[in-house]
Amino acid sequence: MPSTATLNPYRRETLVQQLTAVPVWDLIVIGGGATGLGVALDGLSRGYKTLLLEQADFAKGTSSRSTKLVHGGVRYLAQGDVGLVREALHERGLLLQNAPHLCHNMAFIIPSYSWWGGPFYTIGLKLYDLLAGRLSLGTSVHLSKAETLQQLPGLRPEGLRGGVRYQDGQFDDARLAVNLAQTCIDHGGTALNYCSVQGLLKDASGRLQGVRATDRETGLAYELRGKAVVNATGVFVDDVRRLDEPGAQPLVQPSQGVHVVLDRSFLPGSAALMIPSTEDGRVLFAVPWQGRVVLGTTDTPVPTASLEPRAQEAEIDFLLRTAARYLTTPPSRADVLSAFVGLRPLAASPSGSTKTKEISRSHKILASRSGLITITGGKWTTYRRMGEDTIDKAIALGQLPAASSQTASLTIHGAETMNTAGNLTDGFAHYGSDAAGLRQLLAEHPALGAKLDAGVEFVQAEVVWATRFELARTVEDVLARRVRLLFLDAAAAVRVAPTVAALLAQELGFDEAWQARQVAEFGELARGYLLD
């Protein structure tokens, strides 16, 4: 557990100094989302000197914008992809064991409005249970109409015949990413955000030797040597591949997933709603999360990738229209607290098809002539397996000495059992073992116990903690990916931005002009999460 009184390995100055302290890294990972963090941690678990570089903040892109599910993928089972489901269910079980402070078991209910729906889904979900094996979270059961309405208050009762309940996992995606970055540092690695890779180093024969990177805060450039270089940049993998081979054909076809966040009153129970087939054949979830309800997602091909994608009006309308068919209180645009968008790095279809349902959700690994290893596809649930497979590839290519992965049983920073996590009534349970440090900070500075705003649940101490120990550098880092308020209530996030900026400036030594720029930039960003 970090302490305010001990040497802090998460200070940016310490991490930047490490860039030049290692003449040749064993492993350099480009990208600080789920995949890159999984690759870096796997490398560290095998004893390799590992450096991870992220151009923005950890999980800035897709990895903070998921449906918050750790799952095997019921719809992949319906498509017959049994292997992918089995792998994901195994990884789901490991993740719940290794990060219990962030991942937990949740009941999902599929309502049935037809006589055949209940038996059909019950049979299918029994196979889902079977594939989970010893890591099962619980068996699926058929529910009567009364039981379905009792466990899923807010569901439309007209025409309801019953339902099926199954168990899956839920997590906080961005906080898991931050904890993974901390875990990398805990194990002797260097994980640095706001350091962009802008070129590749090659020897006279064209073999990859490392990367050229720039610290975006200082503008200082670095040439960093590495035995193995992994491109794990998600929807941006083709940008890095073109640094290696300018004429490289696209490997990724981005697909946009939109979510809207509603007040908990629309689905006040503890179970999630799973709609198995919407008007265009998609699966839709309404999931209780941090006192709100996350509704999503869409699956829309987009031509280009960006760090801040925007929802299309048709996608918002689709989500609200579909929810209205199942909820007793139909949500409207005025009810949306936040709308966020993630881009899936789907492996491009060999046939050139733009139908996202024809594009595999499994991950793919390839190596270029120079030795650049690119990993793409996959999903959060399988991040650990993706990391393991990528390092296995580097070993097979002779870039790294053989060693066995240890991540299947490696606990994530903050992992703590409920019996030893301490006081769980102060809202710090998701910090796990770090909660004790937060309470110590509050004991030393009671004024930091003040809420950021009367209407939100987060306190000022969490901003200070995020800055000191969770690698946060900006107002956005704090409000989007440390306390998640931008995703939970964008208007509230805008309100508290000046308070957050002042706390950050005090911690980081920045002036009032910096604070003003931060508030203005965050306000502009947050407008994209609000519906007009």
Give a yes or no: residue 145 inside a domain.
yes
Average pLDDT over residues 78-84: 78
Task: Say if residue 315 is in the same domain as residue 396.
Answer: no
Give a yes or no: residue 418 inside a domain.
no
Distances (CA, A) of 364 to 81, 220, 411: 16, 34, 26
Give a yes or no: residue 93 inside a domain.
no
**Contact by Cβ (8 Å): 195, 216:** yes
Kind and range of the H or E element at 74? Answer: helix 74-78
What does the alpha-carbon distance between residue 366 and residue 376 come to, in Å, rounded to a whole number? 9
- Given pLDDT bands bounded at 50, 70 and 90, which one contains residue 425? low
Distances (CA, A) of 458 to 414, 442, 462, 490: 19, 13, 7, 14
> Would you state the pLDDT for residue 295?
98
With tokens 């030594």, the residue in question is 509
Task: Say if residue 246 is in the same domain as residue 269.
Answer: no
Task: Say if residue 442 is in the same domain as residue 508.
Answer: yes
Task: Say if residue 233 is in the same domain as residue 364.
Answer: yes
Q: Kindly report which listed range (125-134, 192-201, 411-420) carries the lowest average pLDDT score.
A: 411-420
Partners of residue 256 on adjacent β-strands: 300, 343
More confident residue, 154 or 77: 154
The pLDDT of residue 416 is above 80? no
The pLDDT of residue 287 is above 90? yes
> Would you state the pLDDT for residue 122?
79
What's the CATH number where 396 sits? 3.50.50.60
Phi-psi region of 112 (alpha: psi -120 to 50; beta: other; left: phi over 0): beta
- Given pLDDT bands bounded at 50, 70 and 90, which one contains residue 2? very low
Residue type, 193: N
Q: What is the mean pLDDT of the chain?
A: 92
Average pLDDT over residues 411-431: 73
Q: Nearest to residue 378, comparing CAs of 244, 235, 241? A: 235
> Would you state the pLDDT for residue 418?
47
Task: Say if residue 516 is in the same domain as residue 372.
Answer: no
> Would you state the pLDDT for residue 4?
43
Q: Which of 347, 370, 391 is the last residue of a domain?
A: 347
Task: Say if residue 399 is in the same domain as residue 444.
Answer: no
- Given pLDDT bands bounded at 50, 70 and 90, which one contains residue 461? very high
Give a yes or no: residue 480 inside a domain.
yes
The pLDDT of residue 89 is above 60? yes
Q: Kindly report which listed range (29-33, 301-305, 467-471, 473-477) carries the lowest average pLDDT score.
A: 301-305
Q: Which of 347, 364, 391 is the last residue of a domain?
A: 347
Average pLDDT over residues 83-89: 90
pLDDT tens digit sequence for 149-162: 999 999 999 999 99
The pLDDT of residue 316 is above 70? yes
The pLDDT of residue 87 is above 60? yes
Q: Which of 347, 365, 398 is the last residue of a domain?
A: 347
Is 145 exposed, middle or buried, given 0-12, 13-18 or 19+ CB atoms closer than 10 A?
A: middle
The pLDDT of residue 422 is above 60? no
Beta-carbon count within 10 A of 358 CB: 11
Task: Say if residue 149 is in the same domain as residue 213.
Answer: no
- Given pLDDT bands bounded at 50, 70 and 90, which one contains residue 188? very high
> Would you state the pLDDT for residue 276?
86
The pLDDT of residue 336 is above 80? yes
Question: Residue 183 is encoded by which pair of tokens?
Answer: 């875990």
Q: Kindly report which listed range (40-49, 103-112, 361-370) carries the lowest average pLDDT score.
A: 361-370
What's the CATH number where 301 sits? 3.30.9.10
Beta-carbon count within 10 A of 419 CB: 6
The pLDDT of residue 301 is above 50? yes
> Would you state the pLDDT for residue 127?
86
- Given pLDDT bands bounded at 50, 70 and 90, which one contains residue 77? confident
The pLDDT of residue 42 is above 70? yes
Give a yes or no: residue 460 inside a domain.
yes
The pLDDT of residue 358 is above 50? no
Give a yes or no: residue 90 inside a domain.
no
What predicted TM-score, i.e. pTM, was given to this entire model? 0.95
> Would you state the pLDDT for residue 79?
73
Residue type, 471: L
Average pLDDT over residues 131-141: 90
Question: Which domain covers residue 31, as residue numbers?
Answer: 15-62+175-250+356-409
As a whole-number percent, the residues of the chain with pLDDT over 70 amount to 93
Residue 90 phi/psi, 5-degree rounding, is -65, -45
Residue 250 phi/psi, 5-degree rounding, is -60, 135
Give a yes or no: residue 199 inside a domain.
yes
- Given pLDDT bands bounded at 50, 70 and 90, which one contains residue 3? very low
- Given pLDDT bands bounded at 50, 70 and 90, which one contains residue 7? confident
Task: Say if residue 364 is in the same domain as residue 510.
Answer: no
Q: How many domains does the chain have?
A: 3
Average pLDDT over residues 420-443: 82
What's the CATH number where 467 sits? 1.10.8
Task: Say if residue 137 is in the same domain as residue 112.
Answer: yes
Residue 368 phi/psi, 5-degree rounding, is -85, 175
> Would you state the pLDDT for residue 277?
80
- Given pLDDT bands bounded at 50, 70 and 90, which one contains residue 296? very high
Average pLDDT over residues 49-68: 97
Task: Say if residue 521 is in the same domain as residue 445.
Answer: yes
More confident residue, 252 or 349: 252
Task: Say if residue 152 is in the same domain as residue 262.
Answer: yes
- Given pLDDT bands bounded at 50, 70 and 90, which one contains residue 116? low
Give a yes or no: residue 507 inside a domain.
yes
Task: Say if residue 387 is in the same domain as residue 317.
Answer: no
Note if the bond before 297 is cis, omega within 30 degrees.
yes
> Would you state the pLDDT for residue 74?
80
The pLDDT of residue 355 is above 70? no
